[in-house]
Amino acid sequence: MTFDIFHPDVRLAVDRALSEDLGSGDITTDSCIAADAHAEARFVAQQDMTVAGVELLSLLFDSVKLLKKSGDRATSGEELARVRGESRKLLSRERVSLNFLQRLSGVATQAARFVAEVKGTGVKILDTRKTTPGLRVLEKMAASAGGVVNHRMGLYDAILIKNNHIRLAGGVTKAMQQVRKSGKPIEVEVRTRAEVEEALSQGASRILLDNMTPDEAAIEVALINHRAETEISGGITLANLRAYAEARPDFISSGAITHSAVAVDINCGIYAV
């Protein structure tokens, strides 16, 4: 996924963030800064990171020079972008811009760590739906900038039968029979050998091995033997990721890429021009 600033959800998120912070106006800035004053803002990385979201600056400011793009690596001290314009606008939108850049670059940096951890195994890392409400598109874009593969965007674009579906439908077979009419590939979350075999017998396109140990997952991946794509999920962290990757599934998914990403440190210095 490219960083698409024209996506309606992106524009909506930016508009909401501005409304939330500005309200009826920036009373401090409007009181002490002349309306005709101009300035330059410089966004500088304060740590090593994978950049994401700098393209949003063009939705917030009038004159933007990007020195990095989403997906680029930046080291501490490197400039990411420069912005010029009315001093009041730069000051009143500084925090909103930093909130987006720090959060999204944090997701991208976390994603890049996950991808680096499985290097050489052939495993692809997936993100999940465990995103900040209202920011899913942005956080998925940031995860992609870090090198992971976006899983489904929502409940509307892919079939994933989870354990609660299986329980309420009356079993793997019944659940799969009901969703087959959708015509979409079927992914099934399983937790036992019996469920693995049942999902295979019903023609699952992908089998998600949920909350297994690395050794248990390796046994099931070997049993499936490419008869379906394999995905491992549940409790995946950077600390145990490599062990799961050695089981050689096709995919490993982790909510930690988004829900546990830590915002990176970016400074915005504003200078009169």
From the list 130, 191, 242, 248, the catalytic residue is 130
Token pair of 73 as six digits = 């690596």
Judge whether 66 and 57 are in contact, CB under 8 Å: yes
Q: Which two tokens stand for residue 56?
A: 């949003």
* Candidate list 117, 139, 210, 250, residue with the active-site label: 210
Catalytic residue among 94, 127, 189, 250: 189
Catalytic site residue from 11, 16, 65, 95: 95
Q: Single out the catalytic residue among 84, 129, 152, 162.
A: 162
Active-site residue, 119 included? no
Alpha-carbon dihedral of residues 113, 114, 116, 119, nearest 10 degrees? 170
Is 189 assigned a catalytic role? yes
Cα–Cα distance between 159 and 61 in angstroms, integer? 40
Nearest-5° angle of CA 179, CA 181, CA 186?
A: 45
Phi, psi of 34 (to 5 degrees): -65, 145
162 is catalytic: yes
Closest CA to 200 of 188, 214, 210, 185: 188
Integer CA distances (angstroms), 197 to 101, 183, 249, in order:
45, 22, 17
Q: Identify whether the C-beta of residue 54 lies closer than 8 Å to the C-beta of residue 108.
A: no
When computed from its CA atoms, the radius of gyration of the chain, rounded to whole angstroms, is 22
Residue 73 to residue 80: CA distance in whole angstroms: 10
Catalytic residues: 95, 130, 162, 189, 210
